[in-house]
A and B are shown apart, each in its own frame.
Chain A
Amino acid sequence: MELTEEEEKSLSGEHGEALQTAYRILSATGEATNAEKLIPIHWAHVSGVNYNTIGDAGEEFLANLSKKAKFKVRTTVNPMGYDKDSVEKFGLDENFVQKQESIRKSYEKMGVTPSFSCIPYEIYDLPQEGTQVSFAESNAAIYANSVGNLKTNKESAFSALASAITGKSPYSDLRKDDSPTMSVAMKISEPNELTFGLLGYFAGKVADKSVAISGVKNLDKRCNKSLCASMGTSGTCGKFVLDDNSNASEKVDFDEKEMQKVYDELNTAESGDLITLGSPQLGLEEMTDLAAMLKGRSFKKRCLIFCPRVIQEQARHLGYAGQLETAGCELLSDCCTCLTPLVTKKDADSVTTNSIKGAYYLKNSNGLDVNLKPLSEIVRDETR
């Protein structure tokens, strides 16, 4: 990869340790993806905020980095471990809260927009079509490319962080050529958001960087988010296009048999001790939808709803938050189902959710069994 004179100076440490670290990361990812040069990006979204995922090493790294680094472009952040308004209810130890606060402060010191959300595409206006951004958080990267008409690679926590500090990213992969090399034919009739989650998990496993999906006309927001999140979990794929006439060289079917395989891999319980909704976090549309579905009904079990703070505030203002709480839901902001320290084996053996991404991490990271159901069935079976 060719660097400008200034970029070379930064890499050699002439402009300080923070920029040197950032350019070291960009050089490696640039070499790895055969980039010829770095290009400007206009928005970075970083992951690596939850103490549960980055641990002591991550916390120390960020504390150290924040002494020297400032974000050069607008930078939003992923969810952290808890909602400060309700953290006492969950019995997290003091060390967790201290370390999480340190991480939050480090990001704020570097100049972050304190969004603590995995759905930046839903709470901020999107820039003009074709704008180069740098999104870690796989569901957000896939959504930005596939639905938002933006351009990003499926960035890692560090490559997006390096982009935030330098305002640049290697010009390679999906930024340059995003044509699908594989086409997946959707063969399931009457699909819901869970079906699209299962499809995404399958497509993510078989596809490389970009995939065409045939047999799907359009997707509502809930199905889009479900598809993006599960695709980001299972593979390296960073973009999908709905296209019945793709000239991709490889073609595979997603039929009942394939769907059952994915379902059996992730569904390990017949029912859950509690319910979690939101991985990705719910947007306003999903909250109002749910409030309408719950009219006059209430949950028989604990139901945790994860949403961005700004969405919770809007929902409260419009009266939906109150309706959801009346129906027995607990609203949590700044955090998410995925990698949550709030639901552990101490609280439950199994969880009911409609999120494939949530299921994967609840199972693999939290060690819980998962009962997968679409939202309509969750409301039907778990409320009265």
Chain B
Amino acid sequence: MTEKTIVKGNVTGKVLKSSQPINFLGAIDKKTGSITDKKHDLSGKSIKDTILLFPHGIGSSVGAYTIYSLKSNNVAPLAMACQKVDLTVASGCALANIPFFILSPDEYDNIKDGDEISLG
């Protein structure tokens, strides 16, 4: 059902969906998993144990370490799914072993914030 699997895994969980790209270095607290960028539409929310849907990653190459740290600190999402691939999220998820999917435009649009879904 997904367009492409970048990091394999089967997950079921609640969707946290953002309409904005995420800069993992500047916008997330790696110790708590909460979004610290006040201008982001997920500001103040925790990504822990969610299926995190967002258009794509942006910005710093070091964001990959943030994704790895989120996993080490037990505050990572269960899985991530994007519209578009970027190397920071792909490599961060690969090393942290967080399932990561690219969704088709229709599928991405049909999944709503708060939905209970399964991926993989």
A interface residues with partner B (beta carbon < 8 Å) = 21, 24-25, 27-29, 31-33, 47-48, 50, 53-58, 60-61, 136-138, 141, 153-160, 162, 204, 232-236, 265, 339, 360-361, 364-365
User: Using Cβ atoms and an 8 Å threshold, which residues of chain B touch A32?
Assistant: 4, 6, 85, 87, 90, 102
What would be 8 A-B contacts, judged by CB atoms less than 8 Å apart? A21-B95, A29-B91, A53-B25, A54-B62, A58-B68, A154-B86, A159-B87, A361-B26
Name B64-100 residues within 8 Å CB distance of A. 64-66, 68-69, 71-73, 84-88, 90-95, 100
- Once bound together, how far apart are the Cα atoms of A54 and B23, in whole Å? 14
**Is A138 in contact with B91, judged by CB distance below 8 angstroms?**
no
User: Using Cβ atoms and an 8 Å threshold, which residues of chain A touch B39?
Assistant: 265
Q: B104 near A: Cβ within 8 Å?
A: no
Q: Which DSSP category, helix, strand, loop or mixed, fits chain B's interface? A: mixed
- Once bound together, how far apart are the Cα atoms of A364 and B64, in whole Å? 17
User: Which residue of chain A has its CB nearest to the CB of B91?
Assistant: A158
User: Using Cβ atoms and an 8 Å threshold, which residues of chain B touch A138?
Assistant: 59-61
Q: Which DSSP category, helix, strand, loop or mixed, fits chain A's interface? A: helix
Q: B18 near A: Cβ within 8 Å?
A: no
**Is B68 in contact with A233, judged by CB distance below 8 angstroms?**
no
User: Using Cβ atoms and an 8 Å threshold, which residues of chain B touch A137?
Assistant: 61
Our pick among B23, B30, B65, B94 for the contact of A29 (Cβ within 8 Å) is: B94
Our pick among B6, B56, B60, B90 for the contact of A47 (Cβ within 8 Å) is: B60
**Is A236 in contact with B84, judged by CB distance below 8 angstroms?**
yes
User: Which residue of chain B has its CB nearest to the CB of A265?
Assistant: B39
User: Using Cβ atoms and an 8 Å threshold, which residues of chain A touch B73?
Assistant: 57
Within the complex, the shortest CB–CB distance from A247 to chain B, in Å, comes to 23
User: Using Cβ atoms and an 8 Å threshold, which residues of chain A touch B60?
Assistant: 47, 53, 138, 232-233
User: Using Cβ atoms and an 8 Å threshold, which residues of chain B touch A360?
Assistant: 26, 59
User: Which residue of chain A has its CB nearest to the CB of B88?
Assistant: A156
Q: B37 near A: Cβ within 8 Å?
A: yes
What 1/0 mask marks residues of chain B from 48 to 62 whose CB sits below 8 Å from any chain A CB?
A: 000000001111111
User: Which residue of chain A has its CB nearest to the CB of B59?
Assistant: A233
Within the complex, the shortest CB–CB distance from B66 to chain A, in Å, comes to 8
User: Using Cβ atoms and an 8 Å threshold, which residues of chain A touch B4?
Assistant: 31-32
**Is A236 in contact with B6, judged by CB distance below 8 angstroms?**
no
Closest 10 CB pairs of A and B: A28-B94, A57-B72, A136-B61, A158-B91, A364-B26, A57-B69, A32-B90, A156-B88, A156-B64, A32-B85
Q: B34 near A: Cβ within 8 Å?
A: no
User: Using Cβ atoms and an 8 Å threshold, which residues of chain A touch B57?
Assistant: 236
Within the complex, the shortest CB–CB distance from B88 to chain A, in Å, comes to 4
Our pick among B7, B59, B63, B71 for the contact of A28 (Cβ within 8 Å) is: B7
- Once bound together, how far apart are the Cα atoms of A158 and B69, in whole Å? 13
Most buried by A among B60, B61, B86, B92: B61
User: Using Cβ atoms and an 8 Å threshold, which residues of chain A touch B119?
Assistant: none
